[in-house]
Amino acid sequence: AKGVPSIHKGFTPNGVFTLNSRRDVTSVSTWVKDVFLKSNGKAIIYGCTVDAYTCVNGLLELGVPGSRLIMVHPPNEMPNCFNNAYLENAMKKIFDQNGIEIPERRGYRLARWNHGKNESALKVATFTSEAKPLQLECEAFFCFDHKSVDYDAFKAMNNSCLVFDGRLVIDKHFRTNDPSILAAGSLTKYVRKYHNENWSHLNFNSKEIGQKLAHAILQKFDPTLEDMVDINDGEDNLIPTYKEAKCIHAQLPGKLFYLQIGKPNTIAGMQAPLTESDLELITGDVFDDAKPDYFRLHINQYSKIETITCLSKNPLKTSNYLCLYDMHERYLNNLKQ
């Protein structure tokens, strides 16, 4: 992650984790049970992403007291990862109930740990900000800042002479500079000739991207699909469009199930701001036993459902809610009326 010193080169003390796979998560869970719970030190969760909140929930479920957790927010252009005032206030309330500490100010950037000394164990982390620095004693550090490319993956691609410009460069047909190597997903970015740096696979539905990638690979092996090639396939610099909803599903602190469904876009927050012609329908409150499920529908200017936000104490059936996306309100028994 950006802003984390000495992760891949130089010295990294024990207790600093970069999670790249499910195996890493399993090893960290073992470390928490066997080492961290037997001590009195604190853990810092650095980030303001949904992953950071799920990490807090995971630590609480492993038996870590909330009083031993500190969440530090790095600089971020968005108000929060949910882009929803209700969800942000709900998380604050749950953090207060569990005694989880959050510094009042936002925009802290990690500067160093252990005062720059090469000590084997993590003892203290120092942050800088526009106001004043922050110094916190800790025994564990979980980083969920901006996602970047794993160093080993970068080294493998660079040694293979693949063009790397912050991420693996591909064209609109998923091809790298080696036509025999195709790539897709958040690891990639489009070639600069398209003149759209903000447009990447990170903004779209990963299942839809995977289906199109599979079709592109299948054309290389099945000659009967030659007629299925797009007739507009030329040298134009138009990036393909993706239409399926982007979905985030997670379990947040307080054992709350969170679901966010929205249109693919090029901004970090999925929940688009409302315009004068939009309509927002909200029911429920997770802190009210009479109506415990929070449900929000955003109907856009074309009377179609553009965003669905759910927060519930019970597991959510994602496939059912996905059916509502982009549906006209007339099909829902004249929902506006």
Tens digits of per-residue pLDDT, 132-146?
A: 889 999 999 998 887
- Give the residue-averaged pLDDT of 309-333: 92
Q: What are phi and psi of 279, to 5 degrees?
A: -130, 135
In this predicted structure, the answer to whether residue 7 has a pLDDT above a threshold of 90 is no
In this predicted structure, the answer to whether residue 174 has a pLDDT above a threshold of 70 is yes
Would you tell me how many other CB atoms lie within 10 Å of the CB of residue 177? 14
Helix (H) or strand (E) holding 91: helix 85-98
For residue 312, the one-letter residue type is S
In this predicted structure, the answer to whether residue 304 has a pLDDT above a threshold of 70 is yes
CA distances from 246 to 260, 261, 264, 300 (A): 8, 6, 6, 17
End-to-end CA distance of the chain: 48
pLDDT of residue 295: 95
pLDDT of residue 69: 95
What pTM was computed for the model?
A: 0.85
Q: Do residues 103 and 132 make contact, with C-beta atoms less than 8 angstroms apart?
A: no
pLDDT mean across residues, the chain:
84
pLDDT of residue 234: 52
